[in-house]
Every structure is written in C-alpha cells, then in structure tokens.
Structure 1
Amino acid sequence: MPSPSSKLQSLEEAAARVPDGTRLAFGGFAVYQKPMGFVRELVRQGRRNLTVVGSAQSYDVDLLAAGGCLSCVETSYVGLEKHGLARHYRRAVERGEVKVVDYPEMVSWDRFRASQEGLAFWPVPFLGGSDIVRYNPAIKPFACPMTGHPMHAVPAADVDVVVIHALAADERGNVVFPARRLLPQSNDVLMGRSCDTVIVTVEKLVSNAFIRKHSRLVELPSYKVSSVVELPYGAHPTPALGAYHADEKHYGEYVAASESAEATAAYLKKFVHLDGGNDAYLEAVGAAQLARLKDMDSLL
C-alpha cells in the first residue's frame, strides 16, 4: 500500500493532470528517450489544443499531430532523423491546424534555463543577422547594459507541465539518473528543474532504501516531482539509456502507417486506442520483439 508521502499514480491519473490547452514539454531529445507511453495516453484520452515546447522533437509531436491533439509547437526541429519527415506533423502544419514557432536548438535549451532560474528571459548574444528574430516577435532586441553590444532576450519556456521518462524512482518521486549519461538525460534534468508540475514515468520503482544508498544518482528530488508512474518500456519505440535500444522494426511500421489516413487510423487502433493502456500496447508490440531490444551492454 502506498505511503502517505507517495506520489505514485496510474498512467490514466497522471495524464489527467494535462487538461486541454496545456503548455507542456517532453523530456528526451529528438528520437531518444521520449515519454511515448504518456504521449499515447494523451492521444487515447482525446486531449486537444496542446502547446509543446522543446528543443528537438520527433515521434512525440508527430503522434500528437496524428491524434489531432496539437495547436502549437515551439522548438528547433520536428523529424524522424534517418526515417525522414514527421509526416503527420507536416500535414497538420500545412493545413494550418498547428502553429509553428521556431527557435535555434541551443536557444531552445536556454529557454528552460531561464525558467529554471526564475527569469522571464535568457540573454542571447549570437542571433544578430538571423531570420529567426525577424519571424519570431517574441524575441526582443536590447543593448547589453555592461558593454552596449546588441543582444536578444529570448522568452523563458514557461510550461505548465514537464513529462520525462527515467530508469527508476521511488514512490516519493526521487528520480535516479545514470552516472554516465548522454544529452537526453541532461535535458531531462534541466526540464525537470524548470517547472512546478513534473510527471515522471519510470522503467522500475525502487525502494527508498535504494535511493538512500545511491543518493548521488538522484538529480530530481521528490520535492520537484508531482507524479510517478511505473511504466515499463515507457519510451518505446525510442530507446532508453541502460534499458533498451530503439525499435527499428516498429519505426518502420509507424512510418509506413503515415502514408495514408486509412493506414494511420489502423495504426492508432492497433497501438494507441486500446483497452488496457500500456500493458495492452506492449502485448501488441510483442514480447519477443521487446526482448530483442534489451540493452545487455549496460550489464558488462
């Protein structure tokens, strides 16, 4: 039975904390360690008019576009890397259903740094001559008060909710990150520290005794986390560092399904609109396929 300090919730309960019109951010980076189980639940619950703020997006934003959940995206990139365009997203933008606000990749990170520090903007010295400032009126020019050099004020990310997928946490919301990590995990830490409502899906729940023993690995402590959801393979089909690799087979199925409205509807029926949530999704993917993705290198 959960303790009184428990922040453990079901996937359905946690997703209900993201109402229509929410301004939110997803952790990970590009096609790496995205909280895809949570994204599928938002589509399943029929969320609408979401604004996604990020640094580089992929299947997260594209699946929300396929589900008709988006109204605006503020980021530097939305694509599937070697698998090409994010077709659902592109079509939604071309139809005028989704507004796009462009920021350079590094500046996209700076926006979360501003939020982390409680600042309304982040000063950027390198945007002079870029058409980004021409087409994005939210970026304001100003003169540095110390040197007089031209700079630009980039607005803070200012999101309502951050959602990340991590390897482990306890029920109180102390989140464990690998000691040796990559950029997606660093992005998770930054985003998690930039917002008052942070939802974390995890591969595994661990005891508080484990947390005390490995406290050096806790970079998001309990007071920064609002909800914890145990969600095995919660980043699938994207990879999770130290747990499993990307599912290239599923990537191919997803991309093929984006070729037509009929194929998209069939994909959503098979993998998203399921009774049983994430467990049903994993059954649809198949145990044998999931087993092939295990990251055994992390054990060596």
Structure 2
Amino acid sequence: MSKLIPLSEAISKFMQDGESLYAAGFTHLIPFAAGHEIIRQGKRDLELARATPDLIYDQMVAAGCAKKITFSYMGNPGVGSLRIVRGAIERGEIEWEEYSHFGMISCLQAGAAGLPFMPIMPTGATDLEKANSRIKRVVDPYSGNELIAVPALNPDVAIIHVQRADINGNSHLWGIIGEQKEAAFAAEKVIVTAEEIVDESVIRSDPNRTLIPGFIVDAVCHVPHACHPSYAQGYYDRDNAFYMGWDEISKSQESVQSWLDEWVYGTRDHAEYWEKLGKEKHKNLEVEELLSAPINYGKY
C-alpha cells in the first residue's frame, strides 16, 4: 500500500505535541518545508534534536514550538550565532543538552542499534562533561581504560529529505551525507520528503544509493524545493543571501514575527512559499547538470 501523502497530513498524523523530533540533513537536504509545516500547525512543547540546528530550529524556537533543544554545533553557518536559540537558552526559556559532533552521532548510533549508550574515546572537550550530566565516564572491561559514554537518542519522529523516493518510502540521497540513516533507524516514526517521486524500478536500479529503506518509513511526501534556503545536491543551490539576511531579521522579535507571518503563516504550503520567492530567485538557485559516470551492476 502506498505511503505517499501530503506533507500537511504527515505532520498532523505523525507529529504530536510534546514529542521529540530529529530533522536530519547536513549542509544540504535540511527539511525546512517540514519545519515550516510544524510551525503552521502550531505544534508545541517539542524536544528538538539536531547535530547542527541551522536556521530551521531558530525559526521553530521563534514560533514557540520547542521546550528543549539537543545539539552539537549551533550557529548560522558562515555568518554567526543562532540569535533566537541562543537567546532562549540564555534566558532559561528552553532546556538544552550539548554534545560534540561525534558524541551526537554516537547517541544516534546507539539508538539505531538498540543499545542504551555508546562508548567513545575520551576527548579534550571536558567542559562538555561539566555542562551535560548525561555524559558519563565508564571503564573498558577489556583494557581497564576510561571511556566516555553517551546515551542513546531515540526520537519520536525523524524527518528526512531525499532527492528521490518511491511511493513505499525507499529513498535515494547523494552529495554530502550526514546522519540521515542513523536518525531514521533510531526514530520511532519516519517522515520522508522528496524532490521527486519515482517508480520503484528507478530505486532498484541503484541499490547502493538507497540509504533509507521503505520498511522503516511511515510517510513519504512529494515536496520539491523543500530544503530552501538550504540546498539539494543536483536540484538547486544554497541561498546564501537568505542566511546573511536572517542574521539581520533575527535581531528583533518584531522582524522575526513579521517574517513568520509573511512566509510561513501567510503561505498555504511549501509550494506557495516557493512560488512567492519569485522567478528571479528560482533562476539564481538553478544548477547545471553534472552527471556521474554510469555503473554496471550486471545481472541481479
């Protein structure tokens, strides 16, 4: 049976108030469209987890969706701080939990493997241990050496954006690969958004690119341009001007609210949001075709 449904329905059905969310993607394939839909639907008291919160969580915190954020690096990439998330943490308005990049991914790996924690080698980041009581010291039973242990992360919902998927959720992604696979296998529910919905034969033609198998996916949604202002390798470029502009917008609550009113609450869905950006912006974000070399998989 097809798992293909509209994004609004997927968020309404599979994302509930008070749940934990991991919106995956590293540098590109960041699921902004899903984040905006969560804002539109007024979801509240969410625990947001993400290795690099990016602007997607700045916007969700600004909209009042979050009660906690778990992260490693936090910032507006290449620009500066995430003003809204940082301000909310400093004022004590939301809870927070911080790890190193490797520590955060290790939390997901433990969750995906069904383990209660993941041991990692000690690092120089001892201040993180002081700030995060969930990071523990354990003894390697084989060598007697001291190790770091980080707890399993099992989000209620993982949202993964991919370049293409079939109607059952079997998904191809390429370019810079982040923690999408680990987040999907660690989560209780998985929502996939895709640039294209393709026939199953397309997915089967390149099995090594299927990082998200359909059997762990609850819903798949056709959402072209879902990553803006992030990018999707091979489909459209990163909107660097937006990232620069957000730094200015996020300086005041009034300008942030004005942006949310116009671009999120004021648009029916992501298709309308993309259309509102205009043809000139669309043209600026176009990418040229650059195909990989063909692969002969032989008989299967």
Please confirm whether the aligned pair reaches a TM-score higher than 0.5, indicating the same fold.
Answer: yes
Structure 1: give runs of 5+ residues left out of the alignment.
none
State the match for 1:54 in structure 2.
50
Q: Which of 64, 72, 91 is the equivalent residue of 1:95? A: 91
Distance 1:129 1:203 in 2: 38
State the one-letter code of the partner of 1:79.
Answer: G
Distance 2:147 2:53 in 1: 27
Q: Which of 205, 208, 221 is the equivalent residue of 1:229? A: 221
Per-residue CA deviations over 1:191-239 (Å, capped at 9, x if unaligned) read 2222231111111110112222233321211101111010011000011
State the match for 1:254 in structure 2.
246
Check if 1:33 corresponds to 2:29.
Answer: yes
State the one-letter code of the partner of 2:215.
Answer: Y
State the one-letter code of the partner of 1:255.
Answer: D
Per-residue CA deviations over 1:213-267 (Å, capped at 9, x if unaligned) read 2333212111011110100110000111121111123223333221222211211
Q: Secondary structure at the match of 2:224?
A: coil
Distance 1:175 1:104 in 2: 28
Distance 1:15 1:190 in 2: 21
Does the CA contact (< 8 Å) of 2:140 and 2:147 recur in 1? yes
Distance 2:18 2:216 in 1: 23
RMSD in angstroms over aligned alpha carbons? Answer: 1.7
Does the CA contact (< 8 Å) of 1:270 and 1:284 recur in 2? no
Per-residue CA deviations over 1:1-28 (Å, capped at 9, x if unaligned) read xxxx111111111111111111111111
1:120-135 correspondence runs (5 A): 120-127=116-123, 130-135=126-131
Taking structure 1 as the reference length, the TM-score comes to: 0.92
1:136-285 correspondence runs (5 A): 136-178=132-174, 181-182=175-176, 185-285=177-277
State the match for 1:21 in structure 2.
18
Q: Which of 274, 281, 286 is the equivalent residue of 1:289? A: 281
Per-residue CA deviations over 1:141-179 (Å, capped at 9, x if unaligned) read 22111111111221011211111111000111110123x
Moved more, 251-260 or 284-293: 251-260
Q: 1:286 to 1:194 in 2, by over 3 A?
A: same
State the one-letter code of the partner of 1:239.
Answer: Y
Residue 91 of structure 1: CA displacement? Answer: 1.8
Does the CA contact (< 8 Å) of 1:33 and 1:240 recur in 2? yes
State the match for 2:104 in structure 1.
108
Does the CA contact (< 8 Å) of 1:127 and 1:133 recur in 2? no
Distance 1:67 1:193 in 2: 28
Per-residue CA deviations over 1:13-53 (Å, capped at 9, x if unaligned) read 11111111111111112x43210000001111111111112
Per-residue CA deviations over 1:75-98 (Å, capped at 9, x if unaligned) read 112211222111111221122111
Per-residue CA deviations over 1:109-140 (Å, capped at 9, x if unaligned) read 11111111110100122147702222211122
Q: 1:36 to 1:129 in 2, by over 3 A?
A: closer
Equivalent residue pairs, number: 291
State the one-letter code of the partner of 2:158.
Answer: V
Does the CA contact (< 8 Å) of 1:128 and 1:151 recur in 2? no
Q: Secondary structure at the match of 1:74?
A: strand
Identity within the alignment, %: 30
State the one-letter code of the partner of 2:240.
Answer: E
Distance 1:289 1:54 in 2: 28
Moved more, 250-259 or 133-142: 250-259
State the one-letter code of the partner of 1:113.
Answer: Q
Residue 290 of structure 1: CA displacement? Answer: 1.7
Distance 1:225 1:238 in 2: 23
Residue 299 of structure 1: CA displacement? Answer: 4.5
After superposing on structure 2, the runs of 4+ consecutive aligned residues of structure 1 that deviate more than 4 Å are: none
Structure 2: give runs of 5+ residues left out of the alignment.
293-300
